[in-house]
Structure 1
Amino acid sequence: MEKLILIVHLLTALSIIGLILVQQGKGAEAGASFGSGASQTVFGSAGGWNFFSKVTAIMATVFFVTSFALAVMAKDNAKVGDKVLPELEAVQMEILEEVQESDIPSVDEDIPSAPVEDIPAPAGTE
């Protein structure tokens, strides 16, 4: 089932790309650059929806639904296997041991501080 949805998802994505590339933009005529490209209507001179706009909207809806279905299937199939988890815990313990054995100074050690004269004062407080 997942492979079927994935194939539909891929074909839908490719069809959306093709449909968008085939469509002509608003005001793409030669007269558009001189101000006579579209009338003063809400949807331009071409009117509302044409065939390509409707098919693109349908394909976008199908793409959304298949994306949602694939996400739900991936969530249901996501599990941490018993083989992986102990290996990750072993690697984590090795890293923690390396960090504890390293020469990183801790906060408890005496860290020499700079003399007060070496710290610059804010402007205007002198």
Structure 2
Amino acid sequence: MQNVVLIIHLLLALSLIGVVLMQRSEGGGLGMGGGGGAATGRSAGTALGKVTWILATAFICTSITLTIIAAQNAGSGSVLDRIVDSPIQAVPDGEIPSGSSLLPPAEGDDAPLLPTAE
């Protein structure tokens, strides 16, 4: 289900980009152009404008749907709950034990991870 909604979401995004790019620009970005000043009435709605609103509404609906699906599939535990408690070995300040790595050995592996200088 999530894959179907995601594919529809991507198709809506691409369609919305295409429809917005096809619309006529009135010069100047961010609605600054068009002339007539602040007293200008709203222009007549075009077919591309209506399609843009429909695609934008559908895009927002699929975004919300994907968010709900992701929240339902999310785990209930915290990442910190998965940390295994391991004893910490005390080392004097500035002193690193010779012949050992800074990482703990892997399970079942008693050999050091890095070759030691002897």
Alignment RMSD (CA, Å): 3.2
Aligned counterpart for 2:47 among listed residues 41, 51, 56? 51
**1:4 paired residue number:** 4
Deviation at residue 39 of structure 1 after TM alignment:
4.1
Percent identity, aligned pairs only? 39
Structure index of larger Rg: 1
The secondary structure found in structure 2 opposite 1:68 is: helix
The two structures have a TM-score, normalised by structure 1, of 0.55
**1:63 paired residue number:** 59
Aligned counterpart for 1:89 among listed residues 72, 83, 90? 83
In 1, distance between residues paired with 2:91 and 2:14?
55
**1:103 paired residue number:** 93
The C-alpha deviation readout for 1:31-52, integer Å capped at 9, x for no partner, is xxxx9x5446222xxx221111
The secondary structure found in structure 2 opposite 1:4 is: helix
Q: How many residues align?
A: 87
User: Structure 1 residues 2 and 27, CA, compared in 2 at 3 Å: closer, same or farther?
Assistant: same
User: Structure 1 residues 97 and 22, CA, compared in 2 at 3 Å: closer, same or farther?
Assistant: same
Unmatched segments (≥5 aa) in structure 1: 29-34, 105-126
User: Structure 1 residues 102 and 73, CA, compared in 2 at 3 Å: closer, same or farther?
Assistant: farther
Unmatched segments (≥5 aa) in structure 2: 95-118
Deviation at residue 97 of structure 1 after TM alignment:
2.7
User: Structure 1 residues 85 and 42, CA, compared in 2 at 3 Å: closer, same or farther?
Assistant: same
